[in-house]
Chain A
């Protein structure tokens, strides 16, 4: 090894290590011929049988390649070793091959058979690397072989090999673009892949080969959104930018009347979609539903994208953060864009190159757009997104100049009426910096602030005038230029400044500044009638020595003076014009000729000269000092093109929002595809059981889904959410799940379905028995019953043969997952309707469609009103009538989802006025809340007449703790301190689980997460009915079907964190019972056990 560098160095000959090597063509004959003989020993080493010698030789050769030396004459000797047993030699040979195969195509063909053999190797690493090298050697003749290899690898068992196949696609495409159609097929196939490993690579291939085939994404859109968090960083960047483009073509702009987030239309809209899927029979239903879609409703898929990308703002990779930021900037409703500011500011702590790019983007984002342009409403940035972070953009003397200037740009953009004093004070210190380029930029920034903010214009102007006495000429010159622009805005008042500037012409040498002064004097010569001619006199004297730009302005000044004050300046002007006539620069000669014709009345052409005054002294609009970033926003942020402010090769324009949203149903996933996949997946699973986890659709915010707790999350979600049951393919008890699926969607249903509905009605009585539950509505019952019916249907269906159900499934299960999706998305994004129509009247028919509709509604997993009798706690007093001086306030936990924020517990507050005067202006005063807890206040009650009472709803996010929320109730005259402490059972919402899911989840939540308590049920409490009632009264849980009669199961999720809470009660006929609670949240679990035991034993 030690010989290697030495060898290389003297081999290098003419290009020794110390010499600059750049520009040295590695292929040039010079070194080559002198080295020719030296390569003989390498050849000899490669020809030996000893691996160590071969390795040594290869290492030297690779070192040569790395240093840019030509080693191509060794090709025959190296290629022989392609079949070498030693894996390192082999690898290095691959490296060599990839580098030189292009140059020696014929010889390279010798190695192909080795790779073809490698493609069949049992070791996946070898398969993958064979494919990698095969696809990397750019020899057109092997295109068919490559195509074949890619196709084969695309259906390889190993996801790693499939990933390599995805990488090979763009390679082949760049070699032979005629293969596009075939490659698209492969891409389509790989896009359907569910592994995080493949996702990034295949999207990259998609972007390079067929970015226009957006239709390929539809089916995979939701999957990609859900996988996103688990994809590696590089893949995330590519996927996010692809999805940004996708969303721009598929969704409506969120900024068009975004306030109207209406739930009902949302529902109808979805209903229509299902109908469509079922064929023409339900066309009418669709058409009736469509008109209700008028107000803008964000497509749930659009929301899904926004929600799933948001956690990535916390990524350690700057590229990912930037990608998400641009996605939000381009896609999110105005109100939500703000979340990206913090993350972007964080990136400013990173390496200076990262800062550079981020600041460029922040500069664009922070520009205030005065006019909101019609066609690109999304680009109207929420103002002040970065304002809270103003200080993060303050400049340090150690920043590189390019960073300083960008920060300055951002500071200028952020300056407004309120913060301008601080910004100007900062600028003042910058002006004294040693970095003169930066000082110049600061002066311009001051100028921009002065034009944008009228209030400080005079202050700025004074400051700039003071700078005119600065010793540094650059500073003075820059100030002059800026002052000129400012003066144009209000010239009348600034005669003094103009005089001051006129004096400067003696000293200042910077041409731009001189030109600016001359222009100013010319333009406002009537304000300085005495000085102007004198300046012209001086300038005429030095005319020949001036720069071109100054000369032009001298001519200009002369012309203007001639027009206003011809008596004094006629001769001077003529002198200047004659000088200019013989100038070297043709621009100046032209200008002189032109000016002379205009101002000096000649015999024939009087027409123009009569208007000369108008031409020269027309009032000119004041310049607008604008950011250089003002028109960058038509480039996609974060892109190279944006950074360069020029279209880069291969840049794809971000499309405008469509006027009409394209059909959203295209994203619904069809089932046949799924069954296919699941089969393949299953096979794979046997080989790599570990791997299968990553395929799971983990929760949107999970970063690692292998751990038991989070898996429980993701599993439960995956089985319920994001359609098509694709996730079920991974679960071990897949078959059971399939049975279930079958149970849900089989066709024997018609009658069974009706049976269900009947059961529903029967069930209704159960919860009502408790506390006159005003809010226990139909929806809630139906869901509880659905769980029952689920169970029965399941058992019924078990006998059906798999083959038969598979045949039957497609039509029905297609709609079932879609409908599930609805409820999921609804719940998390929008305010869920408090009352769920069991089946809308229009849909109640004997058709299959209607049945499915009913079905989906009943078994929608997360419908919040599953079982919602009013809380067991009943009405509780918040404020006693005496303490409240006549105002009595009670509260109940309504157990309805709080509209606006699904994490909030909705609390009904009843006010009644028992005094004899009306109480006015009831509202919530500034709450002092423990960290994490937040309150959504109820709208102010203007007046409550004596004797009257009213009920309002407020939402409290207790953050999964039983800490009390303290706040003030204020009337116009008084303030009352009140506090609401939730029973632990109110911190959760019911969730639907099947028995199997329940068991699976429970199995994951063992150990510390399991709390068990033994108890004896009193006689009064032994019937099913009572037990269920008592449990549900204590905790807001949903019943889970159960095979055995003396076991009761309930499931729910905590509101804030969404962790599962599973409750099992095993009651013996004797009265002995065991209560088990499984929850990730141990505190909640413990408290819940206590509460339930108390409720049951009392």
Chain B
């Protein structure tokens, strides 16, 4: 299965390597660098690169390429999924997954990788189990370790490994028992020139942060579970209960985890909370173009739209822009031709707008494409699909936990074509 793993930063340094079988020479990465050069952009590097004797499967996250080397047939998603899991684990361990952090914690990283794969086949990938095998570094623990000489390697088999709830460690204790659930919905939409919606869908997730003592058994029910069209669960969720009663019943992992991701059925019309009025025009004769964007609220259910950011990739012909925003700040990078405008809150009384001119390359004919506008925004305390959690119950433990539910709507891939 997975033979070796190389971590490569954006400047092409291999800063970590790990082999689970015989050592594969670094030179195998040359094929990767070749492909990287050809692809120009990091995200265009093909995830699977065949070489004469090996296959290189890579994922690109946090400006690091995780390149796995395999020798024989294996489902590519198996490897890709695993690599993503590695990144997630690092993130879980160190808070961020970046080159300096990995370099600082290289021993822990190496130990974790050692536990995650055995002979190239995944062994322990649940972060709850890994954390019992190899404790994540904290300042306190580092100090204690240096004084007492104890280590951050567990000497007992994590209980989760053998239980039927491998995702939860046993013997969890908290003084404050809390369970928080964040319902986060993202709107993916493409809006066409005239403002009509070409496609819009709502994807949601429920992220949980559960800190409960013992082995609690939770059930979460919705007011309107029928909204959920397609769901995927954390392994802890009992599929059968969902099938029959549309109730999420589960023994939660300890800490943060993604309980559920869902897709709201396509039949429901998606409320689009913002609109963008735009007037972007190039004239053939002059070397000036007009640029005007106004953002306004549409169907917001009475909530304010916050954190609005507008980005747009302008055509190569645009040399510079002189714009005046009515609020917020804007930047234009003349090299990448990327315009970004940090709008902030939308005040319905005074709609934010960005107006001005673009200077175009003199003599060049007008660009025949118009830029697309990408929008980011957030609406607190609203799940745009209308999904509502009905109640959360706990069985199996005596105490009363503190429960909290938060809703949020965000823009996912929200594009306005002009």
Contacts and interface: CB of A to CB of B under 8 A. Distances in A.
Which among A59, A168, A357, A432 has the greatest number of chain B C-beta atoms within 10 A? Answer: A357
A391 interface: yes
A427 to B, nearest CB: 13
Contact of B241 (A1, A638, A710): A710
A370 interface: no
Contacts of A707: 217, 238, 249, 251
Contact of A640 (B13, B15, B74): B74
Which among B19, B81, B82, B370 has the greatest number of chain A C-beta atoms within 10 A? Answer: B81
Interface stretch (A507-515, A539-547, A642-650): A642-650
Contacts of B261: 316, 346, 349
Interface string B139-163: 0001000100101110111000111
A394 B19 contact: no
A322 interface: yes
Contacts of A641: 73
B84 to A, nearest CB: 6
Contacts, number: 331
B181 to A, nearest CB: 17
Contact of A66 (B1, B16, B146, B263): B16
B256 to A, nearest CB: 14
A516 interface: no
Given A20-B13, A52-B149, A314 B55 contact: no
Which among A55, A345, A471, A704 has the greatest number of chain B C-beta atoms within 10 A? Answer: A704
B316 A434 contact: yes
Contact of B240 (A51, A102, A701): A701
A397 B416 CA distance: 10
B162 A99 contact: no
B402 interface: no
B19 A314 contact: no
Contacts of B11: 20
B315 interface: yes
Contact of A398 (B55, B74, B370, B374): B374
Interface stretch (A799-807, A879-887, A1056-1064): A1056-1064
B220 to A, nearest CB: 14
A229 B237 CA distance: 12
Contact of B75 (A25, A237, A392, A931): A237
Contacts of A99: 19, 23
Contacts of B190: 394, 396
A781 interface: no
A123 B237 CA distance: 32
B138 interface: no
B334 interface: no
Interface stretch (A143-151, A482-490, A687-695): A687-695
Interface in A433-448: 433-434
By size class, the interface of chain A is 35 or more
A523 B368 CA distance: 34
B162 A197 contact: yes
Contact of B239 (A89, A159, A311, A351): A311
Nearest to B242: A314
A471 B365 CA distance: 9
A229 B109 CA distance: 30
A102 B22 contact: yes
A518 B41 CA distance: 36
A952 B344 CA distance: 65
B164 A315 contact: no
B339 interface: no
Interface stretch (A36-44, A124-132, A943-951): A124-132
Nearest to B157: A125
B75 to A, nearest CB: 5
Contact of B111 (A95, A342, A401): A95
A143 to B, nearest CB: 16
Interface string A157-200: 01110001001101100100000000000000000000001000
A470 B368 contact: yes
Contact of B73 (A17, A314, A640, A703): A640
By size class, the interface of chain B is 35 or more
A23 B365 CA distance: 46
Contact of B369 (A86, A234, A433): A433
Contacts of B21: 174
Interface string B7-23: 01001111111110111
Which among B50, B155, B231 has the greatest number of chain A C-beta atoms within 10 A? Answer: B155
A55 B119 CA distance: 25
Contact of A651 (B25, B73, B106, B192): B73
Given A349-B203, A394-B199, A707-B217, A22 B73 contact: no
B113 to A, nearest CB: 9
Contacts of A713: 240
B240 A1057 contact: yes
Which among B29, B44, B78 has the greatest number of chain A C-beta atoms within 10 A? Answer: B78
A237 B263 contact: no
Interface stretch (B121-129, B292-300, B324-332): B121-129
A21 B157 CA distance: 38
Given A102-B22, A641-B73, A690-B164, A346 B263 contact: yes
A708 to B, nearest CB: 8
B81 A398 contact: no
A356 interface: yes
A237 B11 CA distance: 35
A357 B103 contact: no
Contacts of B234: 316
Contact of A318 (B77, B151, B251, B372): B77
Given A66-B110, A693-B164, A23 B26 contact: yes
B380 to A, nearest CB: 23
B30 A357 contact: no
A1005 to B, nearest CB: 13
B166 interface: yes
Contacts of B226: 931-932
A1086 interface: no
Contacts of A315: 232-233, 235
A24 interface: yes
A709 B249 CA distance: 10
A168 to B, nearest CB: 8
A204 interface: yes
Contacts of A646: 50
A88 B152 contact: yes
B155 A391 contact: no
B17 A68 contact: yes
A747 interface: no
Given A67-B16, A351-B59, A705-B164, A640 B48 contact: yes
A1 B26 contact: no
Given A20-B12, A92-B111, A640-B70, 4 more contacts: A67-B16, A391-B201, A650-B71, A704-B164
10 contacts: A21-B14, A22-B30, A125-B156, A135-B119, A398-B415, A638-B75, A648-B50, A650-B73, A701-B243, A710-B240
Interface of B: 1, 8, 11-19, 21-23, 25-27, 29-30, 33, 41, 43-44, 46-48, 50, 55, 58-61, 70-78, 80-82, 84, 103-104, 106-107, 109-111, 114, 118-119, 121-123, 125, 142, 146, 149, 151-153, 155-157, 161-166, 188, 190, 192, 198-199, 201, 203, 217, 226, 229-241, 243-245, 249-251, 258, 261, 263, 266, 313, 315-316, 365, 368-370, 372, 374, 413, 415, 417
Interface of A: 1, 5, 17-26, 51-52, 55, 59, 62-63, 65-68, 86-89, 91-92, 95, 99, 102, 123-125, 128, 132, 135-136, 138, 158-160, 164, 167-168, 170-171, 174, 197, 201, 204, 229-230, 232-234, 237, 241, 311, 314-319, 321-323, 342-343, 345-346, 349, 351-354, 356-358, 388, 391-392, 394, 396-398, 400-402, 426, 429, 432-434, 470-472, 638-641, 643-644, 646, 648-652, 688, 690-691, 693-694, 699, 701-707, 709-710, 713, 931-932, 960, 1056-1059, 1081
Q: Which 4 residue pairs across A and B have the least CB separation, nearest first?
A: A1057-B244, A650-B72, A88-B151, A391-B199
